[in-house]
Chains A and B, each alone.
Chain A
Amino acid sequence: MIFILNMILFLLGLFIIVRESNLIKKVIGLNIFQSSVFIFYLIASKVEGGVPPILNDYQLVYSNPLPHVLILTAIVVSIATTSLALALVIKIKQKYNSIEENELDKI
């Protein structure tokens, strides 16, 4: 069930990037799109009844910590992408005084 919700988020993000013409909205869509994949990693790492992987004597079932680490890296990448995209949007706004893609294509 939660995988289906995750896929809906994934498709929603993709749809926003493709459909919207406002560049800021596109950046938001890109963020939703990326987050859905991050959530997928976290869902996949969850073990039923698992606890955080700290060694002790009475807990034997642990969740996998590696995907969290991977996603930490991916989040950093996503922040860099977002900030670069926003910087480019500012530059475009200064040059054309518009951030609507269908208007920009005509120029």
Chain B
Amino acid sequence: MNQLPVLVLVLPLLVAPILLLFRDNRYAYNMSLGVSFLNLLLIISLFQHVYENGNMLYELGSWEAPIGIRLNADLLSCYFLLLMNFMSLICLIAGHKNVKSQIEDDNIYLFYIAWLLCNVGFSGIILTNDIFNLFVFLEISSLASYFLISQGNYKASSLAAIQYLFIGSIGAVFILFAIGILYANTGTLNMSDLSNKIINNNISLSMSLSIAMFLIGVGIKTALFPLHGWLVRTYTYAPSIIVSYFSGTSTKIGVYILLRIFLDVFHSINPLEHYELAQLILFLSLIGVLLSTLYAVKQIEVKKMLAYSSVAQLSYIILAIALLTPEGLTASLVHVFNHSIIKTGLFLVVTILFINNKDVSIDDFSGLGSKYPVLMSAFLLLLLGLIGLPLTSGFISKWYLVSAILQSDYWYISAIVLVTSFMTLFYVWLLIEKIYFSVSVNHDSSIPTISQSLCIYLLAAITIYLGIETSLTFGISDQISTNFFYNTNK
């Protein structure tokens, strides 16, 4: 039981190089599927353990904490860990057919190895309690994701990958610099130790520089409004299965780092409040919500439309954090979970229906409602979740978001949130109209296999389930934010 946190990381890290030796596509797929499934089971039992007994610490190599590296599994980590690994498993199952047809035959086993490494990078970022280790895992996942993106069968895929590489590396170097400044100031890299030592430190100029650099680095990772350009480009040219996977994980990792650094490591000086960064972030994310929703309405290409919609939803998440109230944090955590499920589901439908179509336009959806009635009703449910209609999980997160805003000092922002939610209806309606009320029927779409459809049904069912029974999302989030705001000696 005590070894659970490290097993989650070691298992994929061990399997990945072994797969490299075998060079077998089929074997690589089966093994990565098995490892992901085993990992999910481990994480569920870890979650249960943490939920009942509180934090779980693991000292790597039995070196005591400030000197050695420590893994720390608390509720926040488990919440994100569960989300990431569930998404990875679902996408692995649903995407097998796509990978076969879109990726070159020689590269398929490499593709799955990179996938495993990317996922282990995410898990590492979430579990580690050492701030330099966070940077290393960030780079592991980023390097793997550059490779995954470059495997798209578009002409511009490699270009999109190298542009993402430049932007991602700039963000990582900013984070590395910020870590260096922190270390020079405090002499420790352990996060719990850091948060204790920063109290005694007066906030010096160099500490402010470190905070600013963290904000830039994390802003790039989360696609905070002026830094969101890479997201749309990457989502358009990456292999569509990777887009489905990243829409639920990659940007959410940025949100996790933001929470970990600004609310945990810096919790005693509370930089978001101290430097009035919260107002800045609030303002930026509001512009982000407005502009990207407008752009989403304008798009004819479905993947681009969903990408802009992702930027808008991420802006909601950041906006809720920037309110700096426990309700805001709860709302953002709930929305992280719900949005991941909904957006991954939507991208997956696009992925499995159009295996060879490179640019999926709205017209390609015409008449599919009569062709695949069950699959399309699941798609419809996910779309309704995106708008936030009652009985879907989208409604729950919008509800908590708006009520958190109303309880804060910025109640007037709720008008903008409501208007943009309403605008979501425009682009969602374009799709629904094509699916159900179009005379012509598109015959290019490929027939989904049973396992693929089952994945979509599962995600749609979860959307409904989380819209009615909220103890997993709201209950856990509420507990996390209570820990952050009222219980300083965690």
List A residues at the B interface (Cβ < 8 Å). Answer: 10, 14, 17, 23, 26, 30, 33-34, 37, 40-41, 44, 67, 70, 73-74, 77, 80-81, 84-85, 88-89, 91-92, 95-96, 104, 107
Q: Which chain A residue shows the least CB distance to B143? A: A80
Interface size on B, residues (CB 8 A): 24
Determine how close the nearest CB of chain B comes to the CB of A87; give it in whole angstroms: 9
Q: Cα distance A73–B150 when bound, in Å?
A: 25
Secondary structure class of chain B's binding surface, majority of residues: helix
In contact, A70 and B132 (Cβ under 8 angstroms): yes
Q: Which chain A residue shows the least CB distance to B209? A: A7
Known: A34-B173, A77-B136, A104-B159. A40 touches B180 (CB 8 A): yes
* Residues of chain B lying within 8 A (CB to CB) of residue A23: 162
Q: A23-B162, A81-B165 are in contact. List 7 more A-B contacts (CB 8 A).
A: A10-B177, A30-B170, A33-B170, A73-B136, A74-B135, A81-B143, A92-B158
In contact, A37 and B183 (Cβ under 8 angstroms): no
Q: Which chain B residue shows the least CB distance to A89? A: B162
* Residues of chain A lying within 8 A (CB to CB) of residue B51: none
Near A by CB (< 8 A), chain B positions 373-395 give none
Known: A81-B143, A91-B150, A92-B162. A37 touches B155 (CB 8 A): no
In contact, A95 and B162 (Cβ under 8 angstroms): no
Q: Cα distance A30–B170 when bound, in Å?
A: 8
Q: Which of A23, A41, A88 has the most chain B CB atoms inside 10 A of its CB?
A: A88
In contact, B146 and A30 (Cβ under 8 angstroms): no
Determine how close the nearest CB of chain B comes to the CB of A75; give it in whole angstroms: 11
* Residues of chain A lying within 8 A (CB to CB) of residue B184: 44
Near A by CB (< 8 A), chain B positions 130-150 give 132, 135-136, 139, 143, 146-147, 150
In contact, A81 and B139 (Cβ under 8 angstroms): yes
* Interface residue B465 (Cβ < 8 Å from any Cβ of A): no
In contact, B177 and A37 (Cβ under 8 angstroms): yes
Contact of A84 among B146, B170, B176, B183 (CB under 8 A): B146
In contact, B169 and A30 (Cβ under 8 angstroms): yes
* Residues of chain B lying within 8 A (CB to CB) of residue A73: 132, 136
In contact, B147 and A84 (Cβ under 8 angstroms): yes
Instruction: Report B395-436 CB contacts with A as 1/0, cut-off 8 Å.
Output: 000000000000000000000000000000000000000000
Q: Cα distance A38–B281 when bound, in Å?
A: 30
Q: Which chain A residue shows the least CB distance to B185? A: A44
* Residues of chain B lying within 8 A (CB to CB) of residue A96: 155
Q: Cα distance A92–B159 when bound, in Å?
A: 7
Q: Cα distance A90–B165 when bound, in Å?
A: 15
* Interface residue B166 (Cβ < 8 Å from any Cβ of A): yes
In contact, B155 and A107 (Cβ under 8 angstroms): yes
Near A by CB (< 8 A), chain B positions 159-210 give 159, 161-162, 165-166, 169-170, 173, 176-177, 180, 183-184
Q: Which chain B residue shows the least CB distance to A85? A: B165
In contact, B165 and A84 (Cβ under 8 angstroms): yes
* Residues of chain B lying within 8 A (CB to CB) of residue A92: 158-159, 162
Q: Which of A67, A84, A85, A104 has the most chain B CB atoms inside 10 A of its CB?
A: A84
Determine how close the nearest CB of chain A comes to the CB of B110; give it in whole angstroms: 12
* Residues of chain A lying within 8 A (CB to CB) of residue B139: 77, 80-81
10 pairs across A/B with beta carbons < 8 Å?
A: A30-B169, A74-B135, A80-B143, A84-B143, A85-B162, A88-B150, A91-B158, A95-B158, A96-B155, A107-B156
Q: Which chain A residue shows the least CB distance to B160? A: A88
Closest 6 pairs between A and B when the two form their complex, measured CB to CB: A44-B184, A88-B162, A77-B139, A91-B158, A37-B177, A92-B158
Q: Cα distance A26–B162 when bound, in Å?
A: 10
In contact, A17 and B166 (Cβ under 8 angstroms): yes
* Residues of chain A lying within 8 A (CB to CB) of residue B183: 44, 67, 70
Q: Cα distance A89–B143 when bound, in Å?
A: 15
Q: Which chain A residue shows the least CB distance to B179? A: A70
In contact, B180 and A37 (Cβ under 8 angstroms): yes
